[in-house]
Amino acid sequence: MTPTVCLIDPTGGAMAARAFVLAPRFADLRGKSLGLLDNSKSGSESILRTIAALLDDEFKWAEIVYVRKHSASLPPTPEVMETLRHRADVVITGVGD
């Protein structure tokens, strides 16, 4: 019999997937409330606000809701997510350094 070395796989361990439903998509963005999620990097706010201003010409946002994460590489706090959920119809986010 061939001697074998039995390796235990050190990778992975996925969490159980949580069921979630995507928010409904809008057919038209005109007059919607726009959320801006700043990832807390130093250039993020100016990039996001510039994008929002450029898009405003076309969509005439009802409101711009600006919120900021506490860390670029950590998820937003529940309070930040609640603000977006209650006040924004659509959200723009991204890395701005």
Interface with another protein by CB under 8 A: which residues? 2-15, 42, 71, 73-75, 97
Q: Which is nearer to another protein, 7 or 21 (CB)?
A: 7
Rounded least distance, CB 42 to another protein, Å: 6
Q: Which is nearer to another protein, 17 or 54 (CB)?
A: 17
* Contacts (Cβ under 8 Å, ≥6 apart) of 59: 29, 30, 31, 32, 34
Residue 61 near residue 74 (C-beta atoms within 8 A): no
Q: Which is nearer to another protein, 44 or 61 (CB)?
A: 44
Rounded least distance, CB 74 to another protein, Å: 5
Q: Which is nearer to another protein, 31 or 75 (CB)?
A: 75
Q: Which residue has the tokens 């701005």?
A: 96
Look at residues 97, 77, 94, 75 and name the one whose alpha carbon lies nearest to residue 35: 94
State how far the Cα of 30 lies from the Cα of 21, in Å rounded to an integer.
24
